[in-house]
Amino acid sequence: MTYREDFTLPTELMERVSKQGFDILPELIQVIINAAMQAERQQYLKAEPYQHTEEREGHANGYKPKTVHTRVGNITFAIPQVREGGFYPEALEKGLRSERALLLALAEMYVQGVSTRKVKAVTEKLCGVALSSTQVSHAAALLDTELEKWRKRPIGEYPYLLLDAYYEQVREDGQVRHLAVLSAVGVNLDGKREILGVSVSLSEHEVHWRAFLESLKARGLGGVQLITSDDHTGLQAARLAVFGSIPWQRCQFHLQRNAQAYVPRKDMQAEVAEDIRTIFNAPDRTNAEAYLAKAVAKYQKIASRLADWMAANIPEGLTVFSLPAAHRRLFRTTNAVERLHREIRRRTRVVSIFPNQASCLRLVSAILNEISDEWLTGRTYITFQSTE
């Protein structure tokens, strides 16, 4: 989508921004979204306002007001209309996916009788009114269809794949359980990040990870040159079963943390951590292996369990040395996925306990869908022209 490059905020509005700060946020959002929707209509019609060209594919037909309940209050937008129909601006729709999902998650808690007074108050504040079970069911069905299409969309070649999981509290069978949210992030051939899939499962056992990975493969995932993850038992068994021939990079951050369990004295922890960092920050694998051998010999007499653990486990964190130097920092850990999970938790925290698994999957999917779109339209994450 190409937008106007000469768009500026009205001088009067800019002056009010400087005086009112965040209080002007609803009006600011209104101006920006309205401008983006106008640009979309021009793009759709292939003509500027009042411009007559052979390429024109329709006619503008004014605007229709639409009030939206958002977390910054009610905002009335001017939805551009097309005389021939068939047009609806994506600028407004994309920004409301996670908003709608959040409202549904909160509303379900209220409707199903598992909410607190606080949740009811938040729901009514965000929605403007308390939602009925019929309204919730209808809205949920529409949103679920859209999000399921996104989760099952065809995918292609992604040289790099990162896998990780985190947990959300969900009410199931009258009990509150911690369900695993499995996610996969890929980097495509254009160097752009993309969220390839998400699943809410009972746990991280092999059966759940395997079903998730097989679903990625069935949707067309291929061309993977490296998988980065931690060494969770269920994940590793599933990875070997589905992608066993693909090189694996064990997360260096988790390795560093795991090593501390084998340090016999607290006063040795900093020294051990520094030795492991020296290995991971080596200029190449040959030097990394030399540093590892030196560290193993160093600790063999004073911390034999640590030395044995390092010899057996640290090499799993050195696979990344096969990549171009510019790529190693980005794929030697799962930190990028963990940052993504922190962003999800920040936005799901208001729910606290999801009323059911579907509600959890809905909100998490909506947030990830929105973030993935931002990644794909944002800056390039890596380039494949880098050399050693």
Residue whose C-alpha is closest to residue 111's, from 127, 83, 135 = 135
- On the question of pLDDT at 369 being above 70, the answer is yes
Confidence of residue 353 (pLDDT cuts 50, 70, 90): confident
Whole-number average pLDDT of the chain: 83
- Segment 97-150, tens digit of pLDDT: 666 666 666 555 554 544 445 555 555 655 555 555 666 666 677 778 888 999
pLDDT score at 1: 43
- Annotate 195-206 with DSSP letters as a single string: EEEEEEES-S-H
- On the question of pLDDT at 279 being above 50, the answer is yes
- On the question of pLDDT at 168 being above 80, the answer is yes
Q: Which two structure tokens, joined as six digits, stand for 155?
A: 């995918």
Rounded to an integer, the average pLDDT of 324-347 is 92
Confidence of residue 96 (pLDDT cuts 50, 70, 90): low
Confidence of residue 24 (pLDDT cuts 50, 70, 90): low
- On the question of pLDDT at 366 being above 50, the answer is yes
Rounded to an integer, the average pLDDT of 336-364 is 88
Q: What angle in degrees, to the nearest 10, is found between the helix axes of 90-111 and 335-348?
A: 60
